[in-house]
Structure 1
Amino acid sequence: MKLNQLLWASALISVSFACSDSGDEKPLGKYNNGILIMNEGNFGTNDGEVYHLNPNTEELLPTIFEAENMRPFAGLLEDMVLEAERLYLVANTGKVEIVDPTDFKSLGAVSADLDQPRSLAVNGSKLFISDYGPYDASYGTPDSYVAVVNGLDGGGVSKKIEVSNKPEDLFSYNNYIIVAGSEEDKIEIIDATQERVITILDLEASPKQFHEEDGVLWVYAVDSDKVIFYTLNLSSLTLGTSYTIPLANASGKIAFDGDDEMYILTSSGWPDYNDAVVGIDLEGNTATATELMTGSGFYGIGYDDERDQIYVANANGFQGNGSITVLSESGSVIRTFEVGRGPSGFLIY
């Protein structure tokens, strides 16, 4: 389960025990129930952090990484990835912090040989980390890569696999790592054992986010005047159906509700920043878009499947702390509350 810039959420667990992959029941901890709010932090001060929200009581616990580890996170948070009973906090300032999701205590880190990491996937005993690589003199990223780390609790980078410019989301399936190559409109498939790209699929838009459901991998891709949802058949690793929706200014931010409905953010960008929350409904061979809310400063989105609620993060121009607005599926405002600097995504149990 992961959250990238576009950020999808799984169903909220409301029972007092969670089942492990082995089928054993284990008590939920302090933090692995409810909603984790990712605050990216401010460029230069690198004050990214995670807040925890109990949606039943509305209790909000701030800066839980620092509270549990007695040190600041000290980075710009880009993604939170929950895999292999670990929570990976990916910072695009060049590190990955690894914590126990139950108590947020540190388990390890990857803190060297990374440049601008974006997301992460686990395959066997290896970590695969998408990374823009260093900027060149023109602020391009011609040396983008997927870093390989041998060990689930971090360590050094053993290899950098060359991929197309600006890789974003990753998805692990069987012996493969599927890469969203955002700048060159590609999906690249890595053999996790050989640690090399074996297949490249060309798209008509920039892929941003993956979401798996019922053996089908959804690929969310954006262009200047449209969004495209591709399906990728995991058994054959080939593209299937695609859905094109005319929609200008779509961002890479999306939340899936698990029932062929998605919620995305659009933004006109500088200088107006006319933003909107848009619901996308896929039914049969048709797709419809409905504008639910407008405003400015929208920076992240998530979906609470148990309560059928949409969470919208607002960075408020990075002028002080950001805020969260909770919406019904029809777009009605339920409540608003303040969080940390630059809130950009959610992990919802």
Structure 2
Amino acid sequence: MTNNFLSTRTLRNLSLISLTAIAFSSCEKTESTPAQPYDDGVFIINSGNFFDNNGTLSLVNRSSKTASTDIFLKENNTSIAGGITDYSEIDEKGIILVDNSTDGKDAIEIVNARTFKSIASIKGEIDNPRKVVKAGANKAYITCWDTFNPDYSYKQGFVAVLDLSTNKITKKIPVDKGAESILVIGTTAYVGNVGSQKTIKVIDTQKDEVTTTIEVGANPSNFTLDASNKIWMIAEKELKLFNPTTKIVETKLKAGTNDKKSPSSLSISKDKKTLYCTYNFYDAADGYKLKGEVNAIDIATGTSKTFINRTFTAVGFDTESDIIYTSLIPSYKQAGYIFRYQTSGTLIDSVKAEIAPSGFYFK
């Protein structure tokens, strides 16, 4: 009798536990955050025409051949007033750098990275913003050229420190003229430039101070981290490998065979063993016609080969899909295009973008 009573009670308790578990499970599903339209995809940074101040951001789903255009306007019922130089996401916030053709009107637009709804707009505190990168929890570094001298030469550049908990600029760190590329490893930031300087600045991100200046060659830019945590960059029309531990340039590579070619955009494969670099040049033998190519460089051997024989502005590698993205700008008055390639170099398709597609953010 007692055993039967205990068994019945045990079964009842188990039933109650099961029902409670189901109830909690239902609550968890109900309370979970629903999917948002900008949780996934490839953002296209359309710089726009500088004097038209019509930069935009487009979004391409990886399975789609059509881009969602001007997503900031779509979600906020207002356009971004200026060209767009960069976009990145830090701690679930999207950071848009806006370069307006009128002095004093450059801005930082901060949005919810999942919904693209505006959170804050910072205006009048930066000039000619170039690149943005995460520099710590709720903290971003933004490279800026500052305003130009009367002869249009560069003034000393700076890195703006953005506190994302207050959405305010807290400090400006002086660096080289034409401050451009920036890469953070641990608590150290490396800042390059396009202002004909031959050095990079090293910043302690905990103190927000420059600790070292290192000479690497003129115009160090397009920083890319490889599998050994070393930095590839473009400097003096070469690809250079900088070791952040020893602080020396270990390798120099000519990514093409024609010295008239100017390397520009640089990206790296998913396994970080192959570099992809765009080269564009005006061919004097063919009426100074603009020509170009994308070269693939094997890091282990240093060998370079023409991967795509076509003129492109930017190249990016999507590690999510193992697909190479390139951008084409027909003119600064009409829509550009994105071309997607397999790693074999085979063209997959093209997607119509907006004016002057100049870069990517892969999410």
Same fold (TM over 0.5): yes
* SS of equivalent to 1:73: coil
Instruction: Find the aligned partners of 2:294 and 2:110 in 1 and give their Cα distance.
Output: 32
Q: Residue in 2 aligned with 1:78?
A: 85
Residue 239 (structure 1) shift: 3.4
Corresponding position of 1:176? 188
SS at match of 1:164: strand
CA contact 1:207–1:219 (8 Å) conserved in 2: no
Which of structure 1's runs of 4+ aligned residues deviate more than 6 A? Answer: none
Once the two structures are superposed, residues 192-248 of structure 1 have per-residue CA deviations (whole angstroms, 9 ceiling, x without a partner) of 343321101110343212233556142312323xx2231333xx4733632422534
Distance 1:185 1:195, change over 3 A: same
Q: Which residue of 1 aligns with 2:340?
A: 326
> What's 2:351 paired with?
337
Q: What residue number does 1:102 align with?
A: 114
- Of 38, 42, 54, the residue aligned with 2:45 is 38
Q: Which residue of 2 aligns with 1:14?
A: none
Q: Distance in 2 between matches of 1:77 and 1:280?
A: 29
Distance 1:140 1:240, change over 3 A: closer
Contact 1:216 1:231 in 2 (8 A): no
Instruction: Write the deviation string for residues 293-333 of structure 1: whole angstroms up to 9, x where unpaired.
Output: 2334x222212234332211111022411111112223222
After superposition, where does 1:1-349 map in structure 2 within 5 Å?
28-93=35-100, 94-124=106-136, 125-152=138-165, 154-155=167-168, 157-182=169-194, 183-214=196-227, 216-224=229-237, 227-233=238-244, 236=245, 238-239=247-248, 241-247=250-256, 248=259, 249-259=261-271, 260-269=273-282, 271-283=288-300, 286-296=301-311, 298-349=312-363
Query: Structure 1 CA distance, aligned partners of 2:207 and 2:129?
Result: 22
Residue type matched to 1:137 in 2?
P
> What runs of 5+ residues in structure 1 fail to find an aligned partner?
1-24
TM superposition shift of 1:143: 2.4
Q: Could you tell me how far 1:177 is from its partner in structure 2? A: 2.4
2:270/2:322 contact within 8 Å kept: no
Determine the C-alpha separation between the residues in 2 that align with 1:74 and 1:281: 41
- Gap regions ≥5 residues in structure 2: 1-31, 101-105
Find the residue that maps to 1:103 and give its secondary structure: coil
Counterpart-to-counterpart distance in 1, 2:298 and 2:122: 39
> Relative to 1, partners in 2 of residues 1:100 and 1:173: Cα closer, same or farther, differing over 3 Å?
same
8 Å CA contact 2:133–2:141 kept in 1: the answer is yes
Q: TM-score, normalised by structure 1?
A: 0.83
Q: Which is richer in helix?
A: 2
Normalising by structure 2, we get a TM-score of 0.80
| 8 Å Cα contact 1:107-1:153 kept in structure 2 | no
Alignment-derived partner of residue 12 in structure 2: none
Once the two structures are aligned, what percentage of the paired residues are identical?
Answer: 23
Q: Deviations over 1:156-183 (max 9, x none)?
A: x333222111111222334332211333
One-letter amino acid of the structure 2 residue matched with residue 36 of structure 1: F
Amino acid at match of 2:123: S
Whose strand fraction is larger, Structure 1's or Structure 2's?
Answer: 1
Q: Is the alpha carbon distance of 1:72 and 1:211 closer, same or farther for their aligned partners in structure 2, counting shifts above 3 Å?
A: same
Name which structure has the greater RCO, CA cutoff 8 Å, separation 6+. 1
How far does residue 118 in structure 1 lie from its aligned partner after superposition? 0.5
Q: Which of these two proteins has the greater Rg computed from alpha carbons? A: 2
Q: Which amino acid aligns with 2:163?
A: N
The alpha-carbon deviation at position 71 of structure 1 amounts to 0.5
CA RMSD, 1 decimal: 2.3
